[in-house]
Amino acid sequence: MPDNDKLLTKFKQHLLLEKALSQNTLEAYVHDVEKLFPFLEKRGITPKDAKLEDLENFLAELHDEKIGPRSQARILSGIRSFYRFLVLDGHIEADPTLLLESPKIGMKLPEVLTIDEIDMLINAIDLSKREGQRNRAIIETLYSCGLRVSEACNLKLSDLYLNEGFIKVEGKGNKQRLVPISERAIAEIMDYMNDRSEIDIKPGHEDYLFVSAHFRKRMSRITMFHIIKELAEQTGLKKTISPHTFRHSFATHLLEGGANLRVIQSMLGHEDIGTTEIYTHIDANRLRSEIIEHHPRNKRAK
């Protein structure tokens, strides 16, 4: 429907200009709204006329399609943002999502690697291959700085302040933060720079730190995922890991080492400390496991 297309175009502009969202989040929100439109259209309802009951039926259909609660909640986030925009832009008077209940989500604790497991992955990298040193630098930087995979992909040479021991990171919503970088990560990056200097990098990609020797441009998120998946298989690591696992491990190890939760929040670039608090649950879980394993009553029971 032409009217829907116009609304979607305005919504995109709103997200881009007013909310300053990352490209990935923007595309996800638009995709969520595009799921809603055909549902309403089949029932002869325009997005502007949709009521609370219509949106509840939409969520019920997602459930019937076996879409999990976590994915439903993410889709609902995009729908809420769309209806807030409709109110702000004067298309509707009341937001029908205000009383829309979010699906119940059980807390899923992220996978965390031990320091030995991280060292095992790094040591398994074949340095005789031309991408070997680059991959070591990537993993050490992900873990040392707690970066999101998109932040690692977008890291630039002009963001590195290695003499001062910091890197500048651009996170969600184009927000920048300074993050300390370890001596070991600096050493791995410096060793990688020798290999990087031999790549004829494509114009427009010269400033990116991590580049593909084959494609001669900035590395993609998918390539980083693939590198880590291959390493896990190669080492026989049974845990399900991704680039994000190093971020979780970084935060957990900081907390275990006694770091303040506010410091970890700042390092990770979390806007809300509630997001950072998941790591206190990980720490509590680990503490419980240690007690169960080492308490004399439990030992006797075994």
CA gap 62, 232 in Å, rounded: 34
Q: Which of 136, 196, 218, 270 is catalytic?
A: 270
Q: Which of 29, 143, 208, 279 is catalytic?
A: 279
Known catalytic residue at 247? yes
Within the chain, what is the greatest distance between any pair of CA atoms? 72
CA gap 260, 243 in Å, rounded: 24
Known catalytic residue at 148? yes
Known catalytic residue at 218? no
Known catalytic residue at 279? yes
Q: Which of 14, 134, 247, 248 is catalytic?
A: 247
Q: Which residue has the tokens 């029971």?
A: 301
Q: Enter the tokens of residue 73.
A: 């909640």
Q: Which of 35, 156, 244, 286 is catalytic?
A: 244
Known catalytic residue at 91? no
Is residue 211 within 8 A of residue 196, CB to CB? The reply is: yes
Could you give the dihedral angle defined by the CA atoms of residues 85, 91, 94 and 98, in that order, rounded to the nearest 10 degrees?
-30
Known catalytic residue at 6? no
Beta-strand relationship, 211-212 and 176-180: unpaired
Q: Which of 134, 148, 218, 248 is catalytic?
A: 148
What region does 281 belong to: left with phi over 0, alpha with psi -120 to 50, or beta?
alpha
CA gap 240, 117 in Å, rounded: 13
CA gap 138, 242 in Å, rounded: 13
Q: Which of 12, 35, 172, 221 is catalytic?
A: 172
* Helix residue ranges, H only, the chain: 2-14, 23-42, 52-64, 69-88, 115-123, 132-145, 149-153, 183-196, 221-235, 243-256, 261-268, 273-276, 278-294, 296-301
Q: What value, to the nearest 5°, has the Cα angle with vertex 159 and ends 153 and 165?
A: 110
> Which sequence positions are flagged as catalytic?
148, 172, 244, 247, 270, 279
